[in-house]
Amino acid sequence: MTDYRLTTVETVRETGSWAFTAREGDEDREVFLVPCADEPGGGAGAAESDNPDRAVRAWINRCTHEDQRLHREGVGAVTRGGSVVCPKHGSAFDACDGSCDNGEAAGTTLREIDVAVRDGAVFLTDDDLTYLYEGLPDDDGDDDGPSSSSHLTF
C-alpha cells in the first residue's frame, strides 16, 4: 500500500483538528486528526521535534459511549487541556493515547488510525483504510450538534 498524504502538521495545529473519510472493507469511516504534544519538554512544537510520528494522532470520529461525532464540519473537535471532549456528554479523551477516564465513556479508548509524519506532512499509513476525501460525509443535516446532557459549556 502507498501512504497517502493527508495534510500538514501545521494545518492540524492551526485548525485544532482536521477530518477525512476513508474506506475500510465495505464501510466508510470518518477519521479526525488532532495535535499531540505529550513528548518530554511539552509545549508547542515539542512533539514534532522530539518524535515526528507523535506530532498528530488520528482517531475514528465517534465517541465510545454513544454514536456521536467528536469532530463536526464547521466546528472541528472541541479540545481542552490536551483532551478531545465529547460535545454530548463531556467525556474527555486524551488526544495522544485516546483514553478516557471521566464521564459516560470512562474506561474506554478511541480507535486509533495509523498515520506518520514526514517533513511536516501527515500521511495515512493504516493498511486497513483507503483514503476517499477530505471532510466528512453529508449526513442529511441531522448532525446540527448534539442534544447535550453535559454540564460543560463550550
Instruction: With cut-offs at 50, 70 and 90, classify the pLDDT of residue 153.
Output: very low
Instruction: State the CB neighbour count (10 A cutoff) for residue 88.
Output: 21
Tell whether 146 is covered by a domain. Answer: no
Rounded CA separation 82/100 (Å) = 12
pTM of the model: 0.82
Question: What digits encode the pLDDT tens for the residues 13-57?
Answer: 999 999 999 999 999 999 999 999 754 433 444 444 456 667 999
Tell whether 106 is covered by a domain. Answer: yes
Tell whether 16 is covered by a domain. Answer: yes
Question: What digits encode the pLDDT tens for the residues 91-130?
Answer: 999 999 999 999 999 999 999 999 999 999 999 999 999 9
Q: Report which secondary-structure segment, H or E, holds 12.
A: helix 9-15
Per-residue pLDDT, 52: 63
Tell whether 138 is covered by a domain. Answer: no
Does the pLDDT of residue 146 top 60, yes or no?
no
CATH code of residue 124: 2.102.10.10
Structural domains of the chain, count: 1
Instruction: State the CB neighbour count (10 A cutoff) for residue 131.
Output: 17
Rounded CA separation 89/16 (Å) = 20
C-alpha cell of residue 9: 502538521
Q: Lowest-pLDDT range, 11-15, 25-29, 63-67, 145-149?
A: 145-149
Tell whether 145 is covered by a domain. Answer: no
CB 18 within 8 A of CB 117: no
Tell whether 142 is covered by a domain. Answer: no
Which amino acid belongs to residue 97? D
Tell whether 68 is covered by a domain. Answer: yes
Tell whether 151 is covered by a domain. Answer: no
The boundaries of the domain holding residue 109 are 4-132
